[in-house]
Amino acid sequence: MSARTGGLRLFGWYALATALPIVLLGVGLGRMYQSQMDRRALEQAVSEANALATAGIEPHLGGRALSTGLLGPERAALVATATPLLDSGSVLRLRLRDTAGHVVFDAAHPDRGTEAGTDEEAEEAATGLVVRRLTHLNSDQVDARNHVGAHAVEVYLPVHVGGSSRQILGVLEIYLPYGPIARSVAASERLMLELIIVGLVALWALIGAITWSVTRRLRHTAATNEHLALHDSLTGLPNRMLFADRASHAIAAAGRSGTTIAVVVVDLDRFKEVNDTLGHDNGDAFLRHVADSFERLVRPGDTVARLGGDEFGLVLDGVDSLGARDVLDRLEQALAVEVELGGVPVSAEASIGFAMWPDHGSEMDEILQCADLAMYAAKESRAGIVEYSSALEHFSPARLALVSQLRRAIASDELVLHYQPKLELRTGRVVGVEALVRWQHPTRGLLLPAEFLEIAESTGLIDSMTDWVIEHALRQLAEWHAASLPFTVAINVSARNLRDEHLPDKIFERLRAYDIAPQYLEIELTETAVITNPTRATAMLTRLHDAGVRVSLDDFGQGYTSLAHLARLPLSELKIDRSFIAAMSSTRRDNAIVSTVIELGHQLGLDVVAEGAETDDTVAALVALGCDTVQGFVFTPPLTADETLPWIHAHHDIQPGVASN
């Protein structure tokens, strides 16, 4: 069933559902209208009965009580008055009763004398009340022997002596036909009834129109949200989630048909130059150009997706290794064609890796990881296109298994953070902590970064790992701030993280989510990470620094940062590499280097941190050199979150140059 048909059916049910209360409202209003018409009919009947009594009955009666009977002239006058009324049908029954309820005159039988009998309504009217009700002719007990007649208004009213006397002589019983009265009343009420009906229909139509509009809008919004959840907003291509789903379906279909498929990962090698040189707008335009080129070159039924940043994925259905290479050769050639952006001709190079199902694995995750590894092998060897092979250098089966395990570890929170306190040397107080990631492996125990960080870097998992660290470190920092411990937390980022143009936005969003001021977050990166892409690094760090986030240059002294470039970086802090700190007590050369770096940092207006301090003598030397902050095993190894708070409370009085035992 199409979405439109489903929407029409849904609207039909909704229209019926809304019609029900409208109908009930109409029934209720109809009953109110009928009740109002009946009330007015009774009032009109009483008015007509009073007029008849006043003009046609009371003037012909003497001043005697009706219990004494009627005189001949009185009866003749009543007959003359009543007969035309009965004949014309304007009155259905007319009787005079005495105050005891006996009939002394019946217009239908004028020659009869007084008839004994009682009537409750007549007795009530004899007390001076007017009794009226809707009924049918001959429906009361007194006349039950006769056939029930027309719908009527029954009125009993006291008959008085003519003139000003209010003496009650008897009771006038009169039945007036309901139809003429109702028609008279209805004529005056018809416009109101028509307005009610028109209003109800208009209300239902309005509700229906609103329902239809809202239903269409909800369907459109749902479809839009579904599209956004599964597609890249820049290129319109499927995103990583939809790519994985389509790859899984393609593998399942290939398994049923006995064919093979290729899963491809493409990384644009020169995209960073385009983005940094020509700006983000032209970078986005280039990504859209690449996406369009890929879509034109693949076959119907193949999938092209943007996996993130400058990384694309393809699923080529029903191809062997040679067929996949043929498609990828065309993609590589298309990237080499120059396109003008901002008045500059631009082309791109790509590292392309692919893996075949079922040759290189049986599950989608396994095949995708193989393609990832082939892509990084292509990047390292600058080979352009590489098919996965178990013989790939540095990528053993054990390493591949670890990649798969690490991907699951990030998703299932197997990672943990330990925190290395940073102490201010002048006061001995804790001014911050550095968040250090560990992997609580289910079978191998606690793994240090040296055992998995390089894998994360080389397979692209470093981005999701960094996102995990930012989330958990800031969540923990918020808890410490709530405990009145307003120190900073430092988070390490890698060179590959700097390729994620959305990293600052993600950091700002999590700071807002946990209500943490930016100055309580430090971003640490190495000289090597900066030198890898100085233009991109400077732009990203400037954005973070301008927002208030502290930026720290880690392992200073090992890299190749020129002093001119160092002065241009938006830094807040320099961290002296631990190798110099460890050797400063044994060689004058390293001691001089540490002293020079401290002086340089202060001249640039930066705080200087010494990391890796392991002895009291080292701490004392750093105090003498004027270093600002220190961290190292001399105070404590990295602590879990649960251990950090008690340690800080227990060691808040550490004196400058004195380590805890």
> The CATH number of the domain where 77 resides is what?
3.30.450.20
Instruction: Please report, for residues 302, 423, 424, 654, the alpha-carbon distance to residue 658 in angstroms, rounded to integers and kept in the order given.
Output: 66, 11, 12, 7
In this structure, which amino acid lies at residue 75?
A: R
**Least-confidence region, from 133-137, 177-181, 318-322:** 177-181
Place of tokens 């079978």: 443
Q: Is 248 a domain residue?
A: yes
The model's confidence at residue 120, banded by pLDDT at 50, 70 and 90, is confident
pLDDT of residue 26: 62
Find the angle CA(398)-CA(418)-CA(544) to the nearest 5 degrees.
100
Q: Is 226 a domain residue?
A: no
pLDDT of residue 655: 39
The model's confidence at residue 448, banded by pLDDT at 50, 70 and 90, is very high
Looking at the structure, tell me whether residues 421 and 387 fall in a common domain: no
Looking at the structure, tell me whether residues 490 and 611 fall in a common domain: yes
Q: How far apart are CA 618 and CA 610, in angstroms?
A: 10
Q: How far apart are CA 150 and CA 138, in angstroms?
A: 9
Q: How far apart are CA 528 and CA 507, in angstroms?
A: 22
In this structure, which amino acid lies at residue 403?
A: V
pLDDT of residue 269: 78
**Least-confidence region, from 337-341, 446-450, 622-626, 628-632:** 337-341
The model's confidence at residue 501, banded by pLDDT at 50, 70 and 90, is confident
Which residues lie closer than 8 Å to 76 by C-beta, 6 or more apart?
Answer: none
Q: Which residue has the higher pLDDT, 508 or 360?
A: 508
pLDDT of residue 127: 87
Which CATH number goes with the domain that contains 296? 3.30.70.270
Q: Is the pLDDT of residue 399 over 90?
A: no
- Of the candidates 254, 464, 267, 465, which has an alpha carbon nearest to the alpha carbon of residue 367? 254
Q: How far apart are CA 343 and CA 568, in angstroms?
A: 29
pLDDT of residue 215: 66
Q: Is 400 a domain residue?
A: no
> Which residues partner with 526 through β-bridges?
554
Q: Is 270 a domain residue?
A: yes
Instruction: Report yes or no: 99 and 65 within 8 Å, Cβ to Cβ.
Output: yes
Q: How far apart are CA 194 and CA 201, in angstroms?
A: 11
Q: Is the pLDDT of residue 189 over 50?
A: yes
Q: Is the pLDDT of residue 86 over 60?
A: yes
**Least-confidence region, from 182-196, 236-250, 451-465, 540-554:** 182-196
Q: Is the pLDDT of residue 102 over 60?
A: yes
Does the bond joining 358 to the residue before it have cis omega, within 30 degrees of 0?
A: yes
The percentage of residues in the chain with a pLDDT greater than 90, rounded to a whole number, is 23
Which residues lie closer than 8 Å to 188 by C-beta, 6 or more apart?
Answer: none
Q: How far apart are CA 611 and CA 579, in angstroms?
A: 9
Token representation of residue 188: 């005056």
The average pLDDT across 624-636 equals 92
Looking at the structure, tell me whether residues 463 and 383 fall in a common domain: no
pLDDT of residue 224: 55
Q: How far apart are CA 340 and CA 361, in angstroms?
A: 41
The model's confidence at residue 185, banded by pLDDT at 50, 70 and 90, is low
pLDDT of residue 656: 37
pLDDT of residue 25: 63
Q: Is 540 a domain residue?
A: yes
Q: Which residue has the higher pLDDT, 468 or 212?
A: 468
Place of tokens 């430092």: 490
Looking at the structure, tell me whether residues 37 and 166 fall in a common domain: yes
Q: Is the pLDDT of residue 484 over 80?
A: yes
**Least-confidence region, from 6-20, 267-281, 353-367:** 6-20
Highest mean pLDDT: which range of 13-22, 234-243, 400-409: 234-243
How many other C-beta atoms lie within 10 A of the C-beta of residue 80? 12
pLDDT of residue 609: 94
Looking at the structure, tell me whether residues 322 and 459 fall in a common domain: no
Looking at the structure, tell me whether residues 455 and 388 fall in a common domain: no
The average pLDDT across 279-291 equals 85
The average pLDDT across 363-367 equals 86
Q: Is the pLDDT of residue 142 over 80?
A: no
The percentage of residues in the chain with a pLDDT greater than 70, rounded to a whole number, is 81
> Which residues partner with 188 through β-bridges?
none
219 exposure class (CB count in 10 Å sphere: 0-12, 13-18, 19+): middle
Q: Determine how β-strand 350-357 pairs with β-strand 344-346.
A: unpaired
Q: Which residue has the higher pLDDT, 215 or 44?
A: 44
Q: How far apart are CA 601 and CA 27, in angstroms?
A: 86
**Least-confidence region, from 213-222, 267-276, 452-461, 472-481:** 213-222
For CA atoms 536, 540, 543, 545, give the dihedral sign. Answer: negative
pLDDT of residue 145: 59
**What SS3 state is found at 578?**
helix
Q: Is the pLDDT of residue 7 over 70?
A: no
Looking at the structure, tell me whether residues 493 and 632 fall in a common domain: yes
The model's confidence at residue 268, banded by pLDDT at 50, 70 and 90, is confident
pLDDT of residue 585: 73
541 exposure class (CB count in 10 Å sphere: 0-12, 13-18, 19+): buried
Which of 150, 165, 184 finishes a domain?
A: 184
Find the angle CA(628)-CA(629)-CA(631) to the nearest 5 degrees.
160
Our count of domains for the chain comes to: 3
How many other C-beta atoms lie within 10 A of the C-beta of residue 636? 19
Q: Is the pLDDT of residue 657 over 60?
A: no
Instruction: Please report, for residues 42, 248, 430, 634, 659, the alpha-carbon distance to residue 614 in angstroms, rounded to integers and kept in the order given.
Output: 108, 52, 17, 4, 9
Q: Is the pLDDT of residue 587 over 80?
A: no
How many other C-beta atoms lie within 10 A of the C-beta of residue 319? 19
Does the bond joining 238 to the residue before it have cis omega, within 30 degrees of 0?
A: no
Q: Is the pLDDT of residue 658 over 50?
A: no
Q: Determine how β-strand 488-492 pairs with β-strand 131-136.
A: unpaired
Q: Is 660 a domain residue?
A: no
- Of the candidates 35, 38, 113, which has an alpha carbon nearest to the alpha carbon of residue 68? 113
Q: Is 405 a domain residue?
A: no
Which of 342, 362, 395 finishes a domain?
A: 395
Please list, residue by residue across 144-161, b when 16 or more beta carbons sit within 10 angstroms of its beta carbon and e when fewer do. eeeeebeebbbbbbbbbb
Q: Is 198 a domain residue?
A: no
Looking at the structure, tell me whether residues 459 and 344 fall in a common domain: no
Looking at the structure, tell me whether residues 387 and 419 fall in a common domain: no
Mean of per-residue pLDDT scores for the chain: 82
Highest mean pLDDT: which range of 121-130, 178-187, 644-653: 121-130
Q: Is the pLDDT of residue 194 over 80?
A: no
Domain range for 319 is 240-395
Looking at the structure, tell me whether residues 586 and 437 fall in a common domain: yes
What DSSP element (H or E) covers 585? none
Looking at the structure, tell me whether residues 472 and 548 fall in a common domain: yes
Instruction: Report pLDDT digits (tens) over 524-579.
Output: 988 777 776 677 788 899 999 999 999 998 877 665 555 666 777 899 999 988 88
Looking at the structure, tell me whether residues 493 and 359 fall in a common domain: no
**What SS3 state is found at 43?**
helix
Which CATH number goes with the domain that contains 502? 3.20.20.450
**Least-confidence region, from 42-56, 85-99, 222-236, 269-283:** 222-236
Which of 348, 364, 395 finishes a domain?
A: 395
Q: Is the pLDDT of residue 204 over 90?
A: no
Instruction: Report yes or no: 263 and 313 within 8 Å, Cβ to Cβ.
Output: yes
The model's confidence at residue 36, banded by pLDDT at 50, 70 and 90, is confident
